[in-house]
Chain A
Amino acid sequence: EAAVTQSPRNKVAVTGGKVTLSCNQTNNHNNMYWYRQDTGHGLRLIHYSYGAGSTEKGDIPDGYKASRPSQENFSLILELATPSQTSVYFCASGDPGENTLYFGAGTRLSVL
Chain B
Amino acid sequence: QQKVQQSPESLIVPEGGMASLNCTSSDRNVDYFWWYRQHSGKSPKMLMSIFSNGEKEEGRFTVHLNKASLHTSLHIRDSQPSDSALYLCAASIPGGNYKPTFGKGTSLVVHP
Measuring CB to CB, which residues of chain A are less than 8 angstroms from any residue of chain B?
A: 31, 33, 35, 40-45, 48, 50, 56, 58-59, 90, 94-96, 99-101, 103-106
Report which B residues bind A (CB closer than 8 A): 1, 6, 34, 42-46, 49, 88, 90, 96, 98-105
Contact of B102 among A40, A43, A50 (CB under 8 A): A43
CB closest chain-B residue, reference A56: B99
* B99–A43 CB distance below 8 A: no
With A42-B103, A59-B101 given, is the CB distance from A101 to B46 under 8 Å? yes
In contact, B102 and A103 (Cβ under 8 angstroms): no
- Say what secondary structure dominates the interface of chain B: loop
Report whether A103 and B99 are in contact in the complex, using a CB–CB cutoff of 8 Å: no
Q: List 20 A-B contacts (CB under 8 A).
A: A41-B104, A42-B6, A42-B88, A42-B102, A42-B105, A43-B44, A43-B88, A44-B102, A45-B101, A48-B99, A58-B99, A59-B1, A59-B101, A90-B43, A96-B98, A100-B34, A101-B100, A104-B43, A105-B43, A106-B43
Closest Cβ of chain B to A10, distance in Å, is 12
A56 to B98, CA, bound (A): 12
Instruction: For the complex formed, measure the closest distance between the CB of A90 and the CB atoms of chain B, giving whole angstroms.
Output: 6
On whether A45 and B99 interact (CB within 8 A), knowing A90-B43, A100-B34, the answer reads yes
Contact A103 B98, CB 8 Å, known A41-B104, A42-B88, A42-B104: no
B101 to chain A, nearest CB (A): 7
Contacts of A94 in B (CB 8 A): 98
Contacts A103-B44, A106-B43 given; indicate if A35 touches B102 (C-beta within 8 A): yes
Residues of B within 8 A of A105 (CB): 42-43
Partner of B49, one of A42, A58, A100: A100
- In the bound complex, CA of A56 to CA of B39 (Å): 29
